[in-house]
Amino acid sequence: MHIIDEKFKHNKWQYIGQCFLAAVSIFIVLLFLDARSNSAIIASLGASFFIVFTMPETQASSPRFLIGGYCVGIITGCICYYLSIMPVFAQLPFIQAFSYEIFGACAVGVAIFVMVITDTEHPPAAGVALGFVLNGYNLRTIAVVLIGIISLAVIKTGLKPVLKNLL
């Protein structure tokens, strides 16, 4: 049984460099988002950074899937959040008692469905839909998420010659 991946022994600087780039990149995003009130959204972005910097050759790390998936997650999360605060639903006892659970589940389910039918599957983006329902959102949050994910896609494209799958 090996504790350290055999590939690491031969590519130490590749592993260290890519993980360092991921840490610096997510640090920059964290500077613009309140980590405590946007924890679900930041966790989703963190998972996307993991995918891009450890599996850059996979479909899920391509710009179409990164940006498309997050656009779907944002739109789905916004719609489900607004549905959750609509007075017509707030008056129903069951929905009132389980609003976060019902609309959070709907946000994730609809986001997955739309990503699959539009060929923009990016699993962490479903977390953004959930985060918008649980935490709410504002235009600044949407802008930071979009700028962050677009920047990640640009960084990934620019570093494509040097990034390698670590897994």
The pLDDT score that the predictor gives to residue 4 is 87
The domain of 143 spans 10-158
- Please indicate, yes or no, if residue 4 is contained in any of the structural domains: no
Helix axis angle, 63-85 to 39-54, nearest 10°: 170
- Please indicate, yes or no, if residue 57 is contained in any of the structural domains: yes
Write the CB contacts of 43 (distance below 8 Å, at least 6 apart in sequence): 127, 131
Q: What does the pLDDT profile of the chain (167 residues) look like in tens digits?
A: 788 888 898 889 999 999 999 999 888 888 877 766 677 788 899 999 999 999 999 999 999 999 999 999 999 999 999 999 998 887 888 888 898 999 999 999 999 999 999 999 999 999 999 999 998 888 988 988 998 899 999 999 999 999 999 98
How far apart are the C-alpha atoms of 129 and 118, rounded to whole Å? 16
- The pTM assigned to this predicted structure is 0.89
Give the count of domains, the chain.
1
- Please indicate, yes or no, if residue 163 is contained in any of the structural domains: no
Amino acid at 48: S
- Please indicate, yes or no, if residue 3 is contained in any of the structural domains: no
